[in-house]
């Protein structure tokens, strides 16, 4: 094989994302050919890479899961958190969530063991859509849709323009290409509303449809082809 970056080599084994691999390297847990590794190392054919003294296995079968996260679960791999999504799903292989969905929110989230796909999906500049249905605590004002769709000042920036559609007196649909921390809740709060219910119904081309809360399924072959097509032009922050 041609040489590849150490963090990509680690993530390609399916045990973590590249970001997590960097943390393993920074904390001295990785050895390359018997020497403590540093960020920027590259791996060539025949090199030995050890994590915590154990050799990394070759690529397992890549796993891609669509999960309907119910309210109350936390999108973390920290097993000390009793509400963590990993223990709930209890998959036999190590998987991790792609992105987050607030503990108080529900809906579609992806989980995988493919560290290479994570950043391509999450990078906001790649413009991948996420769709939500939101219920707030009072009737929407006449100018709500216009103001929400044109950008709201939160977290020291202004949110990107987005599609917003009113679906009921206090219900709206919103499509984002950003992933700011608690973005929809913060946008609503700025407008004077509290979110009562927030449900993610779509990520990119994959829809939640009738997948029940707490249930998960593997991506179909068609969905994988659609995702791969959408990711072809995506950039990765670690390339």
Domain of residue 199: give its range: 129-203
In this structure, are residues 1 and 45 in contact, taking their beta carbons and an 8 Å threshold?
A: yes
Distance CA 164, CA 189 (A): 16
What's the total number of domains in the chain?
3
Q: Of these residues, 52, 102, 143, 209, which one is catalytic?
A: 102
In this structure, are residues 95 and 111 in contact, taking their beta carbons and an 8 Å threshold?
A: yes
Mean pLDDT (10-residue bins), the chain, 239 residues: 83 78 94 94 90 80 92 93 96 89 96 82 75 98 97 96 97 94 96 98 94 96 85 56
| CATH number where 20 lies | 3.10.290.10
pTM of the model: 0.74
| Residue 22: active-site member | no
Residues 6+ apart with CB under 8 A from 159: 151, 152, 153, 178, 180, 183, 187
| CATH number where 73 lies | 3.30.70.580
List beta partners, residue 98: 110
Q: Which of 178, 237, 181, 180 is CA-nearest to residue 22?
A: 237
Q: Is residue 191 part of a domain?
A: yes
Q: Is residue 9 part of a domain?
A: yes
Residues 6+ apart with CB under 8 A from 146: none
| Strands 64-69 and 106-112, bridge-based pairing | antiparallel
């Amino acid at each position: 094989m041609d040489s590849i970056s150490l963090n990509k080599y680690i993530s390609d084994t399916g045990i973590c994302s590249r970001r997590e691999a960097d943390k393993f390297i920074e904390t001295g847990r990785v050895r390359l050919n018997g020497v403590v590794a540093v960020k920027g190392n590259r791996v060539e054919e025949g090199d030995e890479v050890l994590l915590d003294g154990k050799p990394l296995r070759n690529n397992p079968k890549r796993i891609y899961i669509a999960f309907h996260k119910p309210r109350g679960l936390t999108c973390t791999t920290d097993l000390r958190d009793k509400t963590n999504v990993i223990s709930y799903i209890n998959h036999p292989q190590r998987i991790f969530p792609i992105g987050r969905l607030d503990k108080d929110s529900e809906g579609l989230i992806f989980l995988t063991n493919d560290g290479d796909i994570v950043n391509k999906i999450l990078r906001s500049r790649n413009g991948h859509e996420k769709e939500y249905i939101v219920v707030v605590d009072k009737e929407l004002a006449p100018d709500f849709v216009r103001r929400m769709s044109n950008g709201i000042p939160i977290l020291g920036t202004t949110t990107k323009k987005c599609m917003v559609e009113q679906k009921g007196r206090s219900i709206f649909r919103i499509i984002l290409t950003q992933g700011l921390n608690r973005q929809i809740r913060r946008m609503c709060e700025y407008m004077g509303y509290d979110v009562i219910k927030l449900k993610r119904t779509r990520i990119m081309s994959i829809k939640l449809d009738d997948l029940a809360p707490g249930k998960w399924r593997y991506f179909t072959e068609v969905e994988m082809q659609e995702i791969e097509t959408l990711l072809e032009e995506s950039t990765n922050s670690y390339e």
